[in-house]
Amino acid sequence: MIRLIAMDMDGTLLNSEKKISPRTREALIRAQKAGIRLILASGRPTRGLKRFAEDIGMKEYGGVLVSYNGAKAVDCVTGEVLFEQAMTAGEARAVLEHLKRFDQVRPIIDHGEYMYVTNVYRQMIRLDGKEFNVMEYESRSNGYLLCEKEDLVAFVDFPVEKILTTADPEYLMAHHQEMMEPFKDTLSCMFTGKFYFEFTARGIDKTRALSAVLKTRGYRREEMMAFGDGHNDISMVTWAGWGVAMANGVEELKSGADEVTASLDEDGIALVVERLLH
């Protein structure tokens, strides 16, 4: 019996317009009325999940926000931290110092109400043959103000849940092995999108946070359904009692899922949830 539904955000719950479709919203609200709890599990920061949680009624029915690709989990009603494992300030500074070698990579960290970068005017990357303002997108979509720090290494004196880096996809693909080489045995380093490469504390992924959450709430993984589309969703989808890959997902995820549903723009989540509630 499914009692929990965990969902990735970008490429999964959100359509290509970065919105939750009316049909998917209705299906998820029906699921909550039927007693099923929702979990948003994303690489986004906690701040960037809250408005979507409210949009589908999670403030009313309860639920959990798993953010920073699994580095933090909070109760979306009370704000109680259910799980957290950040990089130490020293670990974060080491990554940021190493990243100075890669002139096309823009590191991003968040702290409080601000998203910190080294140059607020260096905003554009090349994506699918077009110019894309990644800094505006990242700050606006997650509810942050932009703040410039000439040297992030000197600035960071606090634990960091995630260091997000962005660049043209081709540059990241060509250099990500060098970027992660000094930290491959001490931190988790991964693509979370073709123009995003992230660093988190060692062993962090969505499954680790979900496992901690389920223990605190008395659920079993067999009672959880999980939806995803990316490489960082593979562990979650294969660990859940019923794992669902989006049609737009990566092949490695689809091959390990229990089911492949329709794409993000074809109400893939709604199709499965409606069948579950039938």
Q: What percent of the chain has pLDDT over 90?
A: 97
Per residue in 39-91, pLDDT tens?
999 999 999 999 999 999 999 999 999 999 999 999 999 999 999 999 999 99
- Buried b / exposed e over 142-158, threshold 16 CB at 10 Å, is bebebbebeebbebbee
Per residue in 127-171, pLDDT tens?
999 999 999 999 999 999 999 999 999 999 999 999 999 999 999
The CB density around residue 3, as the number of other CB atoms within 10 Å, is 18
Give the pLDDT confidence score for residue 12 in this predicted structure: 98
Residues 172-185 have a mean pLDDT of 98
Give the pLDDT confidence score for residue 230 in this predicted structure: 93
Give the pLDDT confidence score for residue 45 in this predicted structure: 96
Residue with tokens 């909550």: 32
Structure token pair of residue 195: 């123009």
CA-CA distance, 13 to 267, in Å (whole number)? Answer: 9
Q: Are the C-beta atoms of 238 and 256 separated by less than 8 Å?
A: yes
Q: Give bridge partners of residue 37 from the DSSP assignment.
A: 4
Question: Is residue 115 over pLDDT 90?
Answer: yes
Question: Is residue 9 over pLDDT 90?
Answer: yes
pLDDT band with cut points at 50, 70 and 90 for residue 193: confident
Per residue in 212-257, pLDDT tens?
999 999 999 999 999 999 999 999 999 999 999 999 999 999 999 9
| Average pLDDT score, the chain | 96
Q: Give bridge partners of residue 65 from the DSSP assignment.
A: 40, 74
Least Cα distance to 18 among 105, 111, 130, 142 occurs for 142
pTM: 0.93
Q: Are the C-beta atoms of 50 and 65 separated by less than 8 Å?
A: yes
Least Cα distance to 166 among 126, 203, 206 occurs for 126
Give the pLDDT confidence score for residue 101 in this predicted structure: 97
CA-CA distance, 245 to 237, in Å (whole number)? Answer: 7
Give the pLDDT confidence score for residue 139 in this predicted structure: 95
Give the pLDDT confidence score for residue 44 in this predicted structure: 95
CA-CA distance, 209 to 82, in Å (whole number)? Answer: 9
Give the pLDDT confidence score for residue 56 in this predicted structure: 98
Dihedral sign from CA coordinates of 255, 202, 104, 152? positive
Q: Are the C-beta atoms of 163 and 43 separated by less than 8 Å?
A: no
